[in-house]
């Protein structure tokens, strides 16, 4: 059941019925997992007239899309995936809804697997402006560390008539590094150790490094103790690259290891080059496909993620869009270009 969110996205945007068979049929626990069922419930709240049918064992899903209505809703995310996983999946959809979307999410804000709300706020939202999506906001009302979560996030998204074609290929030079380190229900001295170890690595690369610390206690700290580091590198051309490292629940990692690992991950993203980091490749490919019937160009790092490769195949099957990939012999980065399908939001009046 790979690319679950992207398959549903292409089904809704193309208006085609989606049937997924043999979902984990050879596993000990067959069928859809709790976070996948929760994602279907979220889509059902955003759609009008959709039809979802799941067999008794959960190994067969039939999904017939409806009309994207949007509006104000609330959604409780299970503890198996973070809030960022849900927001990332619905972005290519809700910009084409009938009404602006406002969603109040509860659940985990930072975990080891998914994009965190900090990276989303500092990197993903500015990235959306390149596609003409202005006014998207995310407010963190309450933190929620794994495994019990308890976080509260308010997310709003405007609607657009159509996207702007993306043309971002100049990576520029890194001019500064910023970051956010947060902890909940633990001593703030932990954050000092995380920040010091990250700075020890990053200051050898660039002097302009500032990492903000957030210590949450009481009602604002959620239901579990934990800490996390998110780092962002900004270039002279406005490109933003990110990395993050979160302490596992009950793990035995030292705070110094979290800081050092997060810093090394960011340096690896910078070394790969490109204007889009690994975490955002798949999302950018989807939005480029929805763009007007004009050439879209973007420069990725020296390698495509496995999810991006699967997404490219899915987009070819669903919309017939084929990306041209050209490697730069000097920087070894990959320039991807495609012709968008010219998707328009028929619910929004042209201005």
Residue-wise pLDDT tens digits, 50-106: 999 999 988 999 999 999 999 999 999 999 999 999 999 999 999 999 999 999 999
Whether residue 2 is predicted with pLDDT greater than 90 in this model: the reply is no
Count of all residues that appear for the chain in the document: 351
Tokens of 286: 């989807």
What tens digit of pLDDT does each residue of 155-185 get? Answer: 999 999 999 999 999 999 999 999 999 999 8
Q: What's the rounded Cα separation, in Å, for the pair 36 and 19?
A: 15
Task: Provide the H-helix boundaries in 77-235.
Answer: 83-94, 117-119, 125-129, 189-202
Q: What's the rounded Cα separation, in Å, for the pair 85 and 298?
A: 23
What strand order describes the sheet that includes 61-64?
18-20, 61-64, 51-54
DSSP per-residue letters across 56-83: TTS--EEEE--EE--EEEEEE--TTS-H
Q: What letter would DSSP give residue 163?
A: P
Whether residue 265 is predicted with pLDDT greater than 70 in this model: the reply is yes
| CA separation, residue 41 to residues 9, 52, 63, 241, 264 (Å) | 14, 9, 12, 32, 38
Assign 301 to helix, strand or coil: coil
What tens digit of pLDDT does each residue of 207-242 get? Answer: 999 999 999 888 878 888 999 999 999 999 999 999
Instruction: Look at the pTM and tell me if it is higher than 0.85.
Output: yes
Residue 203 · residue 209 · CB < 8 Å: yes
User: What is Dmax (Cα atoms) for the chain?
Assistant: 58
pLDDT at 123 (0 to 100): 96
Backbone phi, psi, residue 153, to 5°:
-130, 135
Task: Return mean pLDDT, the chain.
Answer: 93
Long-range contacts from 316-325, C-beta under 8 angstroms, 24+ separation: 318/10, 318/11, 318/14, 318/16, 319/10, 319/14, 319/289, 321/289, 323/285
């Amino acid at each position: 059941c790979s690319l679950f969110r992207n398959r549903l996205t292409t089904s809704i945007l193309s208006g085609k019925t989606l049937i997924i068979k043999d979902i984990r049929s050879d596993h000990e626990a067959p069928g859809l997992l709790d976070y996948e069922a929760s994602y279907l419930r979220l889509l059902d709240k955003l759609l009008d007239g959709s039809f979802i049918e799941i067999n008794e064992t959960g190994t067969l899903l039939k999904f017939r899309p409806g009309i994207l209505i949007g509006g104000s809703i609330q959604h409780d995310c299970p503890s198996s995936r973070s809030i960022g996983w849900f927001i990332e999946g619905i972005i290519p959809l809700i910009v084409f809804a009938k009404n602006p979307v406002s969603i109040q999410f509860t659940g985990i804000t930072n975990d080891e697997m998914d994009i965190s709300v900090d990276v989303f706020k500092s990197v993903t939202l500015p990235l959306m402006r390149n596609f003409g999506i202005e006014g998207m906001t995310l407010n963190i009302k309450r933190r929620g560390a794994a495994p019990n979560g308890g976080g509260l996030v308010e997310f709003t998204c405007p609607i657009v008539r159509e996207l702007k074609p993306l043309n971002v290929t100049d990576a520029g030079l890194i001019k500064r590094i910023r970051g956010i380190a947060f902890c909940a229900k633990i001593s703030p001295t932990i954050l000092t150790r995380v920040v010091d170890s990250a700075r020890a690595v990053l200051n050898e690369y660039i002097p302009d490094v500032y990492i903000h610390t957030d210590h949450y206690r009481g009602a604002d700290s959620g239901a579990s103790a934990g800490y996390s580091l998110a780092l962002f590198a900004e270039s002279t051309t406005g490109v933003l690259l990110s990395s993050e490292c979160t302490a596992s629940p009950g793990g035995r990692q030292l705070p110094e290891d979290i800081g050092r690992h997060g810093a090394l991950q960011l340096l690896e993203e910078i070394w790969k080059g490109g204007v889009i980091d690994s975490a955002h490749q798949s999302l950018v490919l989807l939005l480029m496909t929805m763009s007007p019937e004009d050439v879209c160009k973007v420069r990725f790092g020296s390698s495509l993620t496995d999810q991006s490769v699967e997404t490219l195949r899915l987009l070819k099957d669903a919309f017939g869009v084929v990306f041209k990939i050209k490697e730069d012999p000097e920087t070894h980065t990959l320039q991807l270009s495609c012709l968008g399908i010219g998707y328009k939001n028929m619910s929004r009046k042209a201005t």
